[in-house]
Structure 1
Amino acid sequence: MGKLFDEIDDTLAGWIEAQPLWFVATAPLAEDGHVNVSPRGHDTLSVLGPRRVAWVDYTGSGVETIAHLRENGRICLMFVSYDGRPRIVRLHGTGSVLLPGETGFDEVVARHPDNPSTRAVIAVDVTRISDSCGWGVPVMDVREERDLIRLHAEKKGPAGMEEYRRRKNALSIDGLPGL
């Protein structure tokens, strides 16, 4: 078993924010519901305090994270070192969805580059912080960020993105309400 932390200190916060790829996992309450794991990247994540993180959530083809959080709030973020010392850090907690105009949304969005694909901010109150060895994770190099999500949103424009979200982000794959 790995180490448990009381809080996200400055050193851990710096390491977390430096990871180019991380994962978010959520699940519905229904026994036959689908567990969802999504990769995240870009400059979107902020450590807001010793037990609070948030990220700018871009429009995607699904809305599982948002739907699951609205139903039950359970969430786990996993950060993995692909270079240097092997390490895996997991943040378990309760997540909430902040939409444009809601308290906290602008604070998080202002910390990151503007992106026309922004649909929400996901904030997490962290209840458990742990790390483990990561010895089985390969050493890899990051070549570059993909800019497809920005290009897609710019091509569609604001009205096109609203329509896309209405069609693709209204319900989760299990039929839970999304946006």
Structure 2
Amino acid sequence: MAKQFSSIDDRLRDFIARQHIFFTASATAASRVNISPRETLCLRIISPNTAIYLDRTGSGNETSAHMKADGRLTIMFCAMEGPPMILRLYGRGRIIRRPSPEYRELLYTHYDGDEPLGARQIVWLDIDLVQTSCGFGVPLFNYEGERPSLDNWANAKGPDGIEEYWREKNTVSMDGLPTGLFDD
């Protein structure tokens, strides 16, 4: 049975802390729905109604385009070990760009100033609904570790190669929406 909450309590925060992966879902009224997996190492719950994650370079930048055009964002966690549960955080998101003072402040406050090569932006979610459901249909998986692929890719590209990649692949969504990656 689904249960709804107005915020993240300590029990749900502990559940989030035990997860290794989360998924983001976003869309506009006229776009495709985008769902992306993320490693929880980049996620921070900074208040009972606020989550952020450090967004690293990907093949596209759909979430950014959807935040710019619409703002709806859902983050979902699934228990793949231990007792079953699905947790969704619903709300409005926004993108915090790398060159901004807010980005730098969040980076130093919540990530100890550690900015991995290829960090693109921070995604901020103002949570207006928290919902749990049974998760009975989620299979069990054993966590083996994080993949080194993204770090290896970023190191091979270097800062200039990453910016070139952003300009080629991350400035518009697959539906032609601007991502605002280089907006001031």
Deviation (angstroms), 1:103: 4.4
Distance of 2:73 and 2:123 partners within structure 1: 10
TM-score, scaled relative to structure 2: 0.91
**Residue 17 (structure 1) aligns with:** 17
**Residue 41 (structure 1) aligns with:** 39
Deviation (angstroms), 1:42: 4.8
On the 8 A contact 1:54/1:108 being kept in 2, the answer is: no
Distance of 1:34 and 1:150 partners within structure 2: 28
Deviation digits for residues 79-107 of structure 1 (CA, Å, limit 9, x no counterpart): 00001110000011000000123243234
Q: How does 1:14-163 map to 2 (within 5 A)?
A: 14-30=14-30, 33-110=31-108, 111-112=110-111, 113-163=114-164
- Deviates further, 166-175 or 39-48: 39-48
TM-score, scaled relative to structure 1: 0.93
The gaps in structure 2 that reach 5 residues or longer are none
Task: Report how many aligned residue pairs link the two structures.
Answer: 177
Whichever residue aligns with residue 11 of structure 2, its letter is: T
Deviation (angstroms), 1:15: 1.7
On the 8 A contact 1:93/1:124 being kept in 2, the answer is: yes
On the 8 A contact 2:96/2:121 being kept in 1, the answer is: yes
The gaps in structure 1 that reach 5 residues or longer are none
After superposition, the Cα gap between the structure-2 partners of 1:107 and 1:13, relative to the gap in structure 1 and judged at 3 Å, is: farther
Structure 2 residue matching 1:8: 3-state secondary structure:
coil
Distance of 1:20 and 1:53 partners within structure 2: 16
Deviation digits for residues 119-172 of structure 1 (CA, Å, limit 9, x no counterpart): 000000001100000001111101111011111111111111100000000100
Distance of 1:104 and 1:91 partners within structure 2: 23
| C-alpha RMSD of the superposition | 1.4
Segments ≥4 residues shifted beyond 2 Å: 101-104, 106-114
Distance of 1:164 and 1:46 partners within structure 2: 27
